[in-house]
Structure 1
Amino acid sequence: MIQVKDLHKGFNGQEVLKGIDYQFERGKTNLIIGQSGSGKSVFLKCMLGLFKPDQGAIEYDGKPYSNFSDEEQRELRTEIGMLFQGGALFDSMTVEENVMFPLRMFTNQKRGEMRDRVHEVLERVNLEGNDTKMPSEISGGMQKRVAIARAIVNKPKYLFCDEPNSGLDPQTATVIDNLIQQLTHENEITTVVITHDMNSVLEIGERIAFLKDGLLAWKGTKEDIFHTQDKTVTDFVYSSNLFKKVREAQLKGH
């Protein structure tokens, strides 16, 4: 679980995050949505420790990050998996080497043990037999699954996903969404997903935080979002044709 308390962050005298309180639940897919410039990326970087908040606290399982010793910060980094926008695979490394990278960085495992773990996670994301291929030799959807395998190879407690469906076709995006949710449930991970993809909201939005102008404007589930009367939220989500069609189908069903 990650608890955010009264989080403020600004740059050059301009406040970007203006006092956010929120709790990211363990074993659930926690989505952060909002327009460009709403503060989503800054929020994520604060949680990752890349930005130091001006005010407030971020607690990992009840302990404020600001109180972590250097050793505890290093330990936390081993417990975090990160799925970057676009995948961010190393072009010069094979699939196996890409997935093995966090094990080499953060563990003292022998190579045989690392290879066993790599093969285990590649099988879990349905990529067995692709170990020796280079990223350029596989599809975009397969590259994203390699990136997911790399993000979970160290058995993280926390998984952060930055626009995981960027550049993918709708069918492949749904596969990636469902894989993230399955892994979250199977391993009881606290998963945080930043997304602009309204299909992701429909597929895996177990908990949704909607940011606007640096504030938490709304929170709820994918079911709640269809019934909210909050105009700020409805103006945003119903700009998506997908949401309009689903909403119309729901109304006809009643």
Structure 2
Amino acid sequence: MIEVKGLHKSFGEEHILKGIDFVFDTGKTNLVIGQSGSGKSVLMKCMLGLFTPEKGTIEYDGKAYSTFTDEQKRELRQEIGMLFQGGALFDSMTVEENVMFPLRMFTKKRKRELKERVDEVLERVNLNDSGKKYPAEISGGMQKRVAIARAIVNRPKYLFCDEPNSGLDPHTATVIDNLIHELTVEYDITTVVITHDMNSLLEIGEKIAFLKDGVLAWTGDKSQIFKTDDQTVTDFVYSSDLFKKVKEAQRQGL
């Protein structure tokens, strides 16, 4: 579990986060949604320790990050998996080498043990025959699965996903959404997904934080978001063509 309490973050005169309170539950896909500039990315970077908030605390399983020693921060970093927006694979490395990279960085396992773990996660994301290929030799969806394998190879307690479906077609995006959700449940991970993709909200929105202008404007799940009377939320959600179709289908009782 990750708990954010009264979080404020500014850059000069610009107040980005304005007292965010939210609990990211373990074993669930926790989505942070909102328009560009709402504070989603700043919130995530505060949670990762890349930005230091002026006020408030971020607690990892009840322990405030601000009280951590350098060694405790290093240990926490080993427990975090990160799925970047563009995948961020190393073009000069094979799929196998990309996935092995965090193991080499954070563990002292023997080469045989590293290879066994890499093979295990590649099989889990259905890429067991692609280890010797380079990123340029596989599809965008496969690249994203490689990035997921790399993010979970160290058996993280926490998984952060930054726009995981960016650049993917709807079918592949759904495959990635479902894979993230399956791994979250399977490994009992606290998963945080920053997204503007309404398909993701429908697929895996078990717990949702909607930010607007740096304020936590609404919380709920994928079923409750259709029932809210909050105009700010409905204006954002139903600007999506997908949600317009869903709402019309609900109205017609389909």
TM-score range, shorter chain: over 0.9
Normalization by structure 2: what TM-score? Answer: 0.99
> What amino acid is the match of 1:2?
I
Task: Report the Cα distance in structure 1 between the residues aligned to 2:162 and 2:123, rounded to whole angstroms.
Answer: 23
CA apart distance, 1:23: 0.2
State the match for 1:23 in structure 2: 23
1:90-101 equivalences under 5 Å are 90-101=90-101
Q: Which runs of 4+ in 1 moved over 6 A?
A: none
Gaps of 5+ in 1: none
**1:30-56 CA distances to partner (integer Å, 9 max, x unpaired)?**
000000000001000000000001100
Task: Report the Cα distance in structure 1 between the residues aligned to 2:14 and 2:226, rounded to whole angstroms.
Answer: 33
State the match for 2:180 in structure 1: 180
State the match for 2:57 in structure 1: 57
Gaps of 5+ in 2: none
CA apart distance, 1:252: 1.3
Task: Report the Cα distance in structure 2 between the residues aligned to 1:81 and 1:237, rounded to whole angstroms.
Answer: 29
Alignment partner of 2:57: what SS?
strand
State the match for 1:74 in structure 2: 74
Root-mean-square deviation (Å):
0.6
State the match for 1:227 in structure 2: 227
State the match for 1:146 in structure 2: 146
| Number of residue pairs the alignment of both structures matches | 254
Task: Report the Cα distance in structure 1 between the residues aligned to 2:42 and 2:50, rounded to whole angstroms.
Answer: 9
CA apart distance, 1:209: 0.3
Alignment partner of 1:112: what SS?
helix
> What amino acid is the match of 2:16?
V
**1:130-167 CA distances to partner (integer Å, 9 max, x unpaired)?**
11100000000000000000000000000000000000
State the match for 1:202 in structure 2: 202
Aligned identity (percent) is: 75
Task: Report the Cα distance in structure 1 between the residues aligned to 2:149 and 2:138, rounded to whole angstroms.
Answer: 15
Normalization by structure 1: what TM-score? Answer: 0.99
Task: Report the Cα distance in structure 1 between the residues aligned to 2:146 and 2:30, rounded to whole angstroms.
Answer: 22
**1:76-119 CA distances to partner (integer Å, 9 max, x unpaired)?**
00000000001000000000000000000000111110100000
Task: Report the Cα distance in structure 1 between the residues aligned to 2:114 and 2:53, rounded to whole angstroms.
Answer: 36
Task: Report the Cα distance in structure 2 between the residues aligned to 1:43 and 1:86, rounded to whole angstroms.
Answer: 19
Task: Report the Cα distance in structure 1 between the residues aligned to 2:13 and 2:77, rounded to whole angstroms.
Answer: 30
